[in-house]
Amino acid sequence: MSASDSSTFPLVGLQAVSNAQHQWVALAFHLTPQAGLAAPALAQLFAYPDMRAALAPLDFIVSLDDPLHVDEALAASLPAQHTILRVPAAACARNEVQNRCRALAERGFRLMVDGEAGLDAGKAGMRALSADAGGGLPSMVSILTLAGPHWVSNVADKACLANWRSAGFSWFSGAYSREGAAEAPNSDGTSRKRLLALLGLLARDADSRELEILLKQDPALAYHLLKLVNSAAFAPPAPIHSFTQAINVLGRRQLQRWLQLLLYARQQDDGGANALLPLAAVRGAQMEFLSRERGGDRDAQDMAFVAGVFSLLDVLLGMPMTEIVSALSLDLDVVRALLDRAGPLGDMLALTETERPDPARLQALGIDTETHWRGLLQAYHWAIQVSRNL
């Protein structure tokens, strides 16, 4: 893409949508006001090289103020089978909108009504419902008359999640995904201490033998590591059964990275995946990308990756970040980023934590909107792969 194209590229954020098992099922696109008209911005996004391949196999949720803006050219550029068009409930009252929505449904698009569904939503061919958890539950008539899956955003915590799930919603997004799992009441903290010890070994680039000894004490972590190296991502010529082989296959640098992410791979009490895992992967990969784009060498990129992945350790371990960094031998720049979001790494970390990017923050980092989008694609692609392999 040329520099002139980059200067007019739309600013967009991505929001992960998960099912009840905390697995990503879709990505919601958030166009900022600076993106201008939605239709041209969407056309530019979906025409971006390898965009669909990077985010496969997830569905795309695209919010429209007015479905009449989706002309034939835009409709042809969107992957109909993987695109859910989200339409305001109020817009469904117009006959021309109902006709256009039914035409889009015939082309393979799925339609989601945002707000209380009524007869007009049915006339427009709506199949699913979206709601904001802060606005209260829709009527059961609205929920039951549409096939779904229904999506609720801004889910604050797990209690809120359970409430909406019992009401018939099966797709969720919000701060609940950044809640840690409470340690069992009768736990002596051994698992947490072991994780901190492993993090300490990784931080000081410990000998492989030391890592192996600690891995053998954690069956869950050991299982995930061996599962990883035997996955299609590495395609070993013969099955790998020992940690020494695993370390040799991955190499020291990749071993450190994967182990940092494996810490998040533990199953939750409800049997679902750990919702923190893909979030940590996105932050780590995006931080590494931003560091590289700003001229960082390999060591700087590694530190950026660590800062991104470790930014959720306080949630994972259920302890203050100050205690975590005091137990690890981290670079001062990483410590400043984790504790205060200070310094160059802190500035980049603050950016990765936002689902709706701030143009002023991007400008301060010297990152244009097209570069930001390219980084998002790479980061989310990495997170999707991580979730598949762990």
Q: Are residues 147 and 198 in the same domain?
A: no
Please give the pLDDT value at position 2: 39
Domain boundary among 178, 205, 233: 178
Residue 90 lies in a domain: yes
How many domains does the chain fold into?
A: 2
In this prediction the pTM is 0.88
pLDDT per residue of the chain (390 residues) written in tens, 0 to 9: 333 355 678 888 999 999 999 999 999 998 866 555 577 888 888 999 999 999 999 999 999 888 898 888 889 889 999 999 999 999 999 999 999 999 999 999 999 999 987 889 999 999 999 999 998 899 888 898 899 999 999 999 999 999 999 999 999 999 998 876 544 444 445 666 777 787 788 777 777 788 788 877 877 777 778 888 888 777 777 888 777 788 777 777 787 788 888 888 765 555 567 889 999 999 999 999 999 999 999 999 999 999 999 999 999 888 899 998 888 878 999 999 999 999 999 999 999 998 888 888 899 999 999 999 999 999 999 999 888 877
Asked whether residue 131 falls in the same domain as residue 86, the answer is yes
Q: 129 and 250 share a domain?
A: no
User: Around Cβ 189, how many Cβ atoms within 10 Å?
Assistant: 12
Task: Supply the CATH number for residue 100's domain.
Answer: 3.20.20.450
Q: In this structure, are 159 and 75 located in the same domain?
A: yes
- Do 201 and 173 lie in one domain? The reply is no
- Whether residues 62 and 201 share a domain: the answer is no
| Whether residues 251 and 132 fall in one domain | no
Question: Which positions ≥6 away from 52 have C-beta within 8 Å?
Answer: 46, 79, 82
User: Do 128 and 230 share a structural domain?
Assistant: no
Range of the domain at 195: 190-262
Please report, as a single letter, which amino acid is at residue 89. A
- In this structure, the number of other CB atoms found within 10 A of the CB of residue 241 comes to 11
Question: Which alpha helices (DSSP H) does 114-269 contain, by range?
Answer: 119-123, 140-145, 158-167, 190-203, 208-215, 219-229, 243-250, 252-262
Distance in angstroms (rounded) separating the CA atoms of residues 285 and 308 = 8
Question: Are residues 203 and 59 part of one domain?
Answer: no
**Which residues have CB under 8 Å from 195's CB, separation 6+?**
263, 317
199 and 85 part of one domain: no
Domain limit, last residue, from 262, 286, 317: 262
**The domain boundary residue, chosen from 222, 239, 262:** 262
Question: In this structure, are 34 and 160 located in the same domain?
Answer: yes
Do 151 and 204 reside in the same domain of the chain? no
